[in-house]
Structure 1
Amino acid sequence: MKPIRYITILLLLPLLFSCEDLIEVNPPEDKLIQDVVFDSDETATSAMDGIYNQLFLAEFSSGQRSSVTVLSGLSGDNIKFINPNTSTAMQFEQHEILPDNNRNLEIWASAYNVIYMSNSLLKGLQESRNISLEVKAQLEGEARFVRAFTYFYLTNMYGDVPLILSINYEENQLLSRNSSSEVYDAIIADLKIASEVLSPEYRTGERTRINKYASLALLSRVYLYLEDWQMAETISSEVINESGTYELLDDPNLVFLANSREAIWQLSPIGAGGSITQTNEGSLFIIDPIFSFFASFKLNEAFVEKFEEQDNRLVHWVGYNEGMNASFPYKYKVWSSNEFPILEYSMVLRLAEQYLIRAEANAEQGNLTEAINDLDAIRSRAGLDLITDTNPDIGQEDLLSTILNERRMELFAEWGHRWFDLKRTEKANTVFGPVNPYWEPTDVLYPIPEDERSKNSNLSQNPGY
């Protein structure tokens, strides 16, 4: 791609995709911007690439302090604050989130900004006559995926949320909340279209763009959350069976490298637009021996103690800072870097989750042998004894509990999996009720930000806030 053209598109993106700025642009100028951005395959592709860059920057998806990974990680019982009195993020750990919490607002606002960007691109693709059908289909699939992906996290954090599918800001700013079932219907519709139109290949050759299998991977997760066990099993199998592209890696140290064969979708630090080339998760979670005073987060020691001694994940994915007597997530090894090629990309979707999805779906259907086989695939990589050998006659309830625990040990410090697992399996009250004096059953949902409700009187608040 020509550098001058790419820079031009990036300069146009804020005008095209910012809700507030768009109102201030006169219609003829707006039409001109649309015409330029969607004038050719190259410029339209650059616009989509700008959305990927924004995902690395947007608070909810960045892996930084106001991201899903951090805040929902705090809401689960894996990650804790080192200095609990210094940040509004502590409210997420205590399950005492105030409606005016600025980090909560950053999640909500950044997610809806990405949705607006996706809607803008979809509208531009629909109206353009200068983009080839092949490129139009590919970019439509990618934009629909990003929209579905973002709504997945919004509805799992907030429950009912406004379902915005257009760029009519005057209408959108007064929308009331749609039911989570309506949101899920829209997510499934987008992902089904995406999986039909997307290529099985990665557009740039790197796993930082969405392909058919990334769309299917998210769709299998959606069906798992909706307890459609058969569909979750079927679709996860389609991803797992793509063995020419994906595989579980024997060495845990290789999993989070850029374009690893376990990666289904990653975000590149290049999206930050500067010289920094490490992931946000690496710079945030690693407690560097020299610069430990920067550290804000650590692993809950009660969680670390749950690892079996021979578990390879404890050896390779859990770091320890002796001076602070603190364990920390060490899935990413690079704390600070400006070197190329980039060694690590931020992991969003990976194959291990698909094995765990299929294991749970099979267990729920009573297919215990198949479920054990998938669970053992994960345990084998971790160096643990196999259920096939130690407990082949395990019952359904115990197997489901084992799978849920394996999800915790495998997916910690990744996109809030533990928090969402406790919510969807209705175990949050059991886990937090006895140990957290602040806990109330309504805490499973975050509050709708006060700032957003002050702008839109049609936005109702979640119970308990």
Structure 2
Amino acid sequence: MKNIFNKNTTLFFLSLLFSVSACEDFVEVEVPNYKITSETVFSSDETAHSAMTGVYNRLFNSSFSNGGSRSVTFLAGLTADNFTVTSSTFQILEFGENAIDASNSWNLDLWAGCYNMVYMVNAILENVANSNALSEKTKKSLEGQAKFIRAFTYLNLTNLYGEVPLLLSTDYHKNATAPRNNLPTVFNQIIVDLEDAILLLENDYANGERTRPNVYAAMALLARTHLYLENWEQAEYYSSKVIDHDVLYRLLKDTNDVFLANSEEAIWQISPLGWGSSFTHTNEGNLFIPSTTSNPIAILSESFLNQWMDQEDLRLTNWVASFTSDGKILFYPYKYKIQYDASGGRINEYSMVLRLAEQYLIRAEANVHLGNLQNAIADVDKIRERAEITLISESNPHISESELLETILQERRKEFFAEWGHRWFDLKRFRKSFILSQKPNTDWQETDIWYPIPSNERLKNPKLTQNDGY
């Protein structure tokens, strides 16, 4: 693994300005020269905002968040039951077969990509706090954005690995030997960061671009966090705040429009501008859509396809496509329509991170647990109506609580496949991960609910304990 910044570099934030892309290894990041960073990058509002732009560009290039083959979207998707591996690459097969070795380099890239992002936003926070040159408006904005991204990153880390080190500074020597923190401690920090972000961020989007989080993005992520913690009242409260802001957000009638840049369903997206070149397509489109010369490294599984049961669901019609290989018809995610584009022209699709449909299903699930079944049915029916399938209020208005929860789980599978590992996280939340033992070629064990802590990281940090089963 190469250092992100070699030992002689003193231009950490200048590298953010140009979004230097390299193989990540968090623990080898050296302490930057703070005299240079404070006197140059944080000497004006303009350059400080440019440093934050570098963070967003990095999100598009970082393993965990870029939507590519080493991202949460793909690897957590493999771990669940929506994909079938077509590649012979052993690192991919290990994720698909639920037999991840602690030495798996793709797992290391996933972990290191997260901690690389944590380091970047911690550095932003420290330098913003120490700067006397920035306006208060800029300080608030950058602090809010950095805390949002830190919370977002830790929410992914905890869902993938369980207990993880909670790093809140750029102190290299302290971070390099940090032990794992328990889940309540990490989740508490996630909530604190998001509550702070709500107070610091603007209501609107800068220049109409939904690529920098606003107040409602922080509320949406906080709703998800409380859902994962089974804090039903808070999940219902924050999801309602987002849903009710219909000036900015609405469910799009045409599902083909959902993943377009700055769609009205988008709460937060990541732009392919992070390529820093002429490429104008998403990594998701490039990964999942077959090209004229090669097939994708994973396709949609029989288990996923069988759930539709001949329903004429617009999500099946518009978000799933097929190709023929060796005489077989195979299916792939088609939420993103552009497989490759090096025209350098307009970017038509952004990578979706948070969208309104999730907030409806968060509120529905919370309301079931709060005993508000009719409200929950109404929210699920919003999603079903858009898909043009039978409404629960018409077909089964007296549905039981358990049946409705099962329906919500199924709707989440149909709505969020090939997006950010939702299916994997949902199976764990609903305590149904045992069904993964039915996957073909799986080596499923109960301890597989957490990924292994990368062995390389444990060699460098003796205080990092390993998850059970590895």
Whether TM exceeds 0.5 here: the answer is yes
Q: 1:69 aligns with which of 67, 73, 83?
A: 73
Equivalent in the alignment of 2:61: 57
Equivalent in the alignment of 1:321: 323
**Residue 436 of structure 1: CA displacement?**
6.1
Task: For 1:434 and 1:22, locate their aligned partners in 2 and report how far apart those are by CA, in whole Å.
Answer: 43
- Judging changes above 3 Å, is the alpha-carbon distance between structure 1 residues 46 and 374 closer, same or farther for their aligned structure 2 residues? same
1:219 aligns with 2:222: yes
The one-letter amino acid of 1:172's match is N
Q: TM-score, structure 2 length as denominator?
A: 0.93
1:379 aligns with 2:379: no
Instruction: Give the secondary-structure state (helix, strand or coil) at the position aligned to 1:322.
Output: strand
- Judging changes above 3 Å, is the alpha-carbon distance between structure 1 residues 399 and 259 closer, same or farther for their aligned structure 2 residues? same
1:285 aligns with 2:284: no
Instruction: Give the secondary-structure state (helix, strand or coil) at the position aligned to 1:348.
Output: strand
Task: For 1:379 and 1:312, locate their aligned partners in 2 and report how far apart those are by CA, in whole Å.
Answer: 10
Q: 2:42 aligns with which of 11, 21, 38?
A: 38
Task: For 2:318 and 2:207, locate their aligned partners in 1 and report how far apart those are by CA, in whole Å.
Answer: 30
Residue correspondence of structure 1 range 29-428 to structure 2 within 5 A = 29-83=33-87, 85-288=88-291, 290-291=292-293, 293-307=294-308, 308-323=310-325, 324-339=328-343, 340-428=345-433
**Residue 21 of structure 1: CA displacement?**
4.9
The one-letter amino acid of 2:120's match is M
- Judging changes above 3 Å, is the alpha-carbon distance between structure 1 residues 8 and 360 closer, same or farther for their aligned structure 2 residues? closer
- Judging changes above 3 Å, is the alpha-carbon distance between structure 1 residues 63 and 12 closer, same or farther for their aligned structure 2 residues? closer
**Residue 272 of structure 1: CA displacement?**
1.3
**Residue 438 of structure 1: CA displacement?**
1.2
1:88 and 1:103 in contact (8 A); partners too:
yes
The one-letter amino acid of 1:22's match is E
Task: For 2:297 and 2:132, locate their aligned partners in 1 and report how far apart those are by CA, in whole Å.
Answer: 50
Task: For 2:323 and 2:374, locate their aligned partners in 1 and report how far apart those are by CA, in whole Å.
Answer: 41
Task: For 1:49 and 1:9, locate their aligned partners in 2 and report how far apart those are by CA, in whole Å.
Answer: 8
The one-letter amino acid of 1:205's match is G
Instruction: Give the secondary-structure state (helix, strand or coil) at the position aligned to 2:207.
Output: coil
Instruction: Give the secondary-structure state (helix, strand or coil) at the position aligned to 2:70.
Output: coil
Task: For 1:21 and 1:36, locate their aligned partners in 2 and report how far apart those are by CA, in whole Å.
Answer: 20
Instruction: Give the secondary-structure state (helix, strand or coil) at the position aligned to 2:365.
Output: helix
Q: How many aligned residue pairs are there?
A: 452
- Judging changes above 3 Å, is the alpha-carbon distance between structure 1 residues 432 and 21 closer, same or farther for their aligned structure 2 residues? closer
Task: For 2:427 and 2:130, locate their aligned partners in 1 and report how far apart those are by CA, in whole Å.
Answer: 43
Equivalent in the alignment of 1:22: 30
Instruction: Give the secondary-structure state (helix, strand or coil) at the position aligned to 1:157.
Output: helix
Task: For 1:383 and 1:361, locate their aligned partners in 2 and report how far apart those are by CA, in whole Å.
Answer: 24
Which range moves more in the overlay, 195-204 or 326-335?
A: 195-204
Instruction: Give the secondary-structure state (helix, strand or coil) at the position aligned to 2:346.
Output: coil
Task: For 1:56 and 1:8, locate their aligned partners in 2 and report how far apart those are by CA, in whole Å.
Answer: 15
The one-letter amino acid of 2:79's match is S
**Residue 86 of structure 1: CA displacement?**
2.5
- Judging changes above 3 Å, is the alpha-carbon distance between structure 1 residues 101 and 209 closer, same or farther for their aligned structure 2 residues? same
Describe the superposition over 1:247-303 as per-residue Cα deviations: whole angstroms up to 9, x where unpaired: 000000000000000000001101111110000000100123x22x24211100221
- Judging changes above 3 Å, is the alpha-carbon distance between structure 1 residues 54 and 285 closer, same or farther for their aligned structure 2 residues? same
- Unaligned stretches of 5+ residues in structure 2: 1-12
1:141 and 1:194 in contact (8 A); partners too:
yes
Task: For 1:286 and 1:437, locate their aligned partners in 2 and report how far apart those are by CA, in whole Å.
Answer: 25
**Residue 171 of structure 1: CA displacement?**
0.6
Task: Give the % identical residues.
Answer: 48
1:301 and 1:327 in contact (8 A); partners too:
no
Describe the superposition over 1:66-96 as per-residue Cα deviations: whole angstroms up to 9, x where unpaired: 100000000110012113x323111111110
Task: For 2:232 and 2:14, locate their aligned partners in 1 and report how far apart those are by CA, in whole Å.
Answer: 46
Task: For 1:434 and 1:75, locate their aligned partners in 2 and report how far apart those are by CA, in whole Å.
Answer: 10
The one-letter amino acid of 2:91's match is T
What do you get for the CA RMSD once the two structures are aligned?
Answer: 1.9
Task: For 2:145 and 2:18, locate their aligned partners in 1 and report how far apart those are by CA, in whole Å.
Answer: 21
2:178 and 2:463 in contact (8 A); partners too:
yes
Equivalent in the alignment of 1:3: none
Which range moves more in the overlay, 30-39 or 420-429?
A: 30-39
Q: 1:443 aligns with which of 423, 448, 460?
A: 448
2:18 and 2:54 in contact (8 A); partners too:
no
- Judging changes above 3 Å, is the alpha-carbon distance between structure 1 residues 343 and 434 closer, same or farther for their aligned structure 2 residues? closer
Task: For 1:58 and 1:319, locate their aligned partners in 2 and report how far apart those are by CA, in whole Å.
Answer: 28
Describe the superposition over 1:151-200 as per-residue Cα deviations: whole angstroms up to 9, x where unpaired: 00001000000000000000100010000111100000000000111001
Which range moves more in the overlay, 324-333 or 232-241?
A: 324-333
**Residue 366 of structure 1: CA displacement?**
1.1
1:282 and 1:335 in contact (8 A); partners too:
yes
Q: TM-score, structure 1 length as denominator?
A: 0.94
- Unaligned stretches of 5+ residues in structure 1: 1-5
Task: For 1:389 and 1:287, locate their aligned partners in 2 and report how far apart those are by CA, in whole Å.
Answer: 39
1:148 and 1:186 in contact (8 A); partners too:
yes
Q: 2:462 aligns with which of 436, 457, 461?
A: 457
**Residue 313 of structure 1: CA displacement?**
0.7
The one-letter amino acid of 1:58's match is S
2:219 and 2:238 in contact (8 A); partners too:
yes
Instruction: Give the secondary-structure state (helix, strand or coil) at the position aligned to 1:401.
Output: helix
Report runs of 4+ in structure 1 exceeding 4 Å deviation.
6-9, 11-15, 433-437
The one-letter amino acid of 1:297's match is A
